[in-house]
Amino acid sequence: MTRRLIVLAVIGVALAPLPLLLPAAQEAVAVRALLFAMMAVAWNLMSGFGGLFSFGHAAYFGLGAYTTALLTIELGLSPWIGMLAGMAVAAAFGALTGYLAVRYRLKGAYFALATFAFAEMLRLAALNSELVGGAVGLTLPVTGEQGWWTLRFDVGDPAYFWVALLLMLGSVATVIVLLNSRAGLNLLAVREDETAAAAAGVAVVRHKIMAIGVSAALTAVAGGFYSVYYLFVSPDLAFGASVSIQAILPAVIGGVGTVWGPLIGAAVLAPLSDMAATLVRTPPEFLAFLQGRSGLDVIMYAVLLIVVVLAMPRGLYGRFARRPR
Predicted local confidence at residue 325, as pLDDT: 58
Q: Are 112 and 244 in contact (CB under 8 A)?
A: no
Q: Are 148 and 265 in contact (CB under 8 A)?
A: no
pLDDT at site 307: 83
pLDDT of residue 145: 83
Distances (CA, A) of 69 to 89, 90, 135, 156: 13, 14, 15, 21
- Low-confidence residues in the chain, pLDDT < 70: 292, 294-297, 322-325
72, 81 contact by CB (below 8 A) = no
pLDDT of residue 309: 79
Question: How far apart are alpha carbons 265 and 281 in whole angstroms?
Answer: 24
Burial 293-305 (b: 16+ CB within 10 A, else e): eeebbeebbeebb
Give residue 205's pLDDT.
Answer: 92
Give the phi and the psi of residue 152 in degrees, each rounded to 5.
-120, 120
What is the pLDDT, as a whole number, of residue 57?
95
